[in-house]
Structures are given as structure tokens and as C-alpha cells.
Amino acid sequence: MSQPRFSQKAITEILPRELIRWEVYFFPELESTQSFAGDLFRKEGRYGIFVATNYQSAGRGREGRKWLSPRGNDLLFSFVLMPRHGASRLPLLTLSAALAVCDCLRSLLDLKPEVKWPNDVLVNGKKVCGILTELVKGKGGEQGIIVGVGLNVNRSSSSFSPEIREKATSLLIETGRRISRLSVLGAMMKAFEDEYFLFQKGHFEEIIRRWKGYSSMLGRRVSLHAGKREVQGSVVDLEDSGALVVLLDNGRTESFLSCDCMFV
């Protein structure tokens, strides 16, 4: 049977409605769903905005990096929340979104995804999804959080640049078949609403516990880049705030709330 087209109507129909009434925007092409959602929130100050596209001409990743994806193959979307717990808990929302992606990949496709702090989902050790969580202020001072998801669905290995080909993957590469973006989106957002419910209730320890269940980071050696600082050590724990606890090679234990992290 042919799949319904990836469109505003199809997306609206597949999104869950239990917790949030999503207001869906779909564009065949856009600079960045993250920027569009942020701009709309700044103007209108409301949550539930959901923006998806088939192609981004200026997709953004963490630390000012570009997020490149060929036209019409992957999931590229951003959505706006106004959570109860504000900016201090922002890292936990990134973890919640990563957990939702993992739940979806496991239940829908029988894959064995892993989370990699702070914002990646890996399959077979390669990045399949990146999450960008940003804080935005509305005109009236209200705080919104934009969660942006870039999930490699149907792109082939040759679509990655040579520098990242060894480190990145897609659902097509991992399963050997084309996957319906709509089914993945629906399952992921359903799982996200469950995570968000935990978050809104303040069950942070449960989010951390579930995150650890999808992580092979504890005990692993990592290299961390925070601004100009670069340190190495072994991962000891993940705090309730979402901070990564690392026993550094200088013998000190330190918590990192947000920085680049690589396995060494």
C-alpha cells in the first residue's frame, strides 16, 4: 500500500493529542524549523507549535554547527513547549526527547538504540539522531523551549559527507528498508508525550533511570570540550539535573551540564 504523503494534514493526523493540542506547520522547504518555531514563539508566546519540513537550507546543530540533510528523506522538525520547571531543567528535556526516539526505534523497528550524552541517539555506535533544545523568550517575557529533532531516516550512506560517513547512520542503513517517516514521527511523539508527562510531574529521577537504561556511557572514557577547555576522564554518573559526572584524569570529579563529549 502506498504511504500517505508527508504533509501538514498527514502530520496533524499522526500526532498524539492527549497532552498537547499541536498546531502543525509544514513547509516543503525552510531555512530551519528551529528558527521558524523560535520566531513564531517570540511573536505569539504560545506552546504547541510544531514545525516540520522536507528540506532545510540553513539547518542548525549544536555549538553553531550546520545540520545537513538531503531533500525529502529524513525527519526534520521542531516543537515548542512551555514546561513547568523552566530553564534549569532544560537538559532533562533533551534527555527526554532522546529517550522518546529510543523507545520508538526499539518498539517500531526492533533496533537497539543508545543514548549518548548530551543530545545524540546512536545505533550500532553511529549517530542516527541529534536533538537541539533552546530557550526562547516571548514578547511578554514568557519562556518557551524549542526542541529540534533531526533523525536520519531514509538517507543513504553516500549522502553523508566523507568526514561523518564513518560516524553517522540512518534507519534505512540499519534496517535495509525504506521506513515511513510518518510512522516514526507518530511513535516518537507519542513516546515523547509520555516522557513529558513524567517531566511535568517532576519525576526527574525516573527520566535519569530510564536514560541510564539506554546508555553505555557509565564507565566509558570520554573527552569533553567546554569552550576552550578540553579534559579527559571516565563517566561516573548522570545527576538528576542531567549533568554528566566525570572522574577526570587529574583525580577530581566534576559535573558538566552541557558541552561536547566524545568517546576516546
Q: Where do contacts with ligand BTN occur on this chain (CB under 6 A)? A: 32-34, 56, 59-62, 65, 67, 76-78, 119, 130-132, 148-150
Exposure on the CB side of residue 204, measured as CA atoms within 13 A:
16
Is cis: bond before 113, omega within 30 of 0? no
CB 252 → ligand BTN: shortest distance, Å?
28
Helix ranges (DSSP H) in 32-127: 33-44, 90-109
CB of 90 within 8 A of CB of 145? yes
Q: Which is nearer to ligand BTN, 130 or 233 (CB)?
A: 130
Starting at the earlier edge strand, list the strands of the sheet with 120-123: 23-27, 49-53, 75-81, 143-151, 126-137, 120-123, 113-116
CB 69 → ligand BTN: shortest distance, Å?
7
CB of 224 within 8 A of CB of 261? yes
Q: Which is nearer to ligand BTN, 247 or 257 (CB)?
A: 257
Angle in degrees, 0-180, between the axes of helices 90-109 and 181-200, rounded to the nearest 10:
140
Sign of CA dihedral 71, 178, 192, 132: negative
Q: Which is nearer to ligand BTN, 122 or 246 (CB)?
A: 122
CB 1 → ligand BTN: shortest distance, Å?
28
CB 157 → ligand BTN: shortest distance, Å?
18
CB 50 → ligand BTN: shortest distance, Å?
12
Q: Which is nearer to ligand BTN, 132 or 219 (CB)?
A: 132
Q: Which is nearer to ligand BTN, 149 or 207 (CB)?
A: 149
Distance from C-alpha of 136 to C-alpha of 79, rounded to nearest angstrom:
12
CB 253 → ligand BTN: shortest distance, Å?
27
Q: Which is nearer to ligand BTN, 97 or 109 (CB)?
A: 97
Measured from each CB, the residue nearest to ligand BTN is: 130
- Say which amino acid occupies 244: L
Distance from C-alpha of 67 to C-alpha of 2, rounded to nearest angstrom:
29
CB 132 → ligand BTN: shortest distance, Å?
4
Length of the chain: 264
Q: Which is nearer to ligand BTN, 6 or 248 (CB)?
A: 6
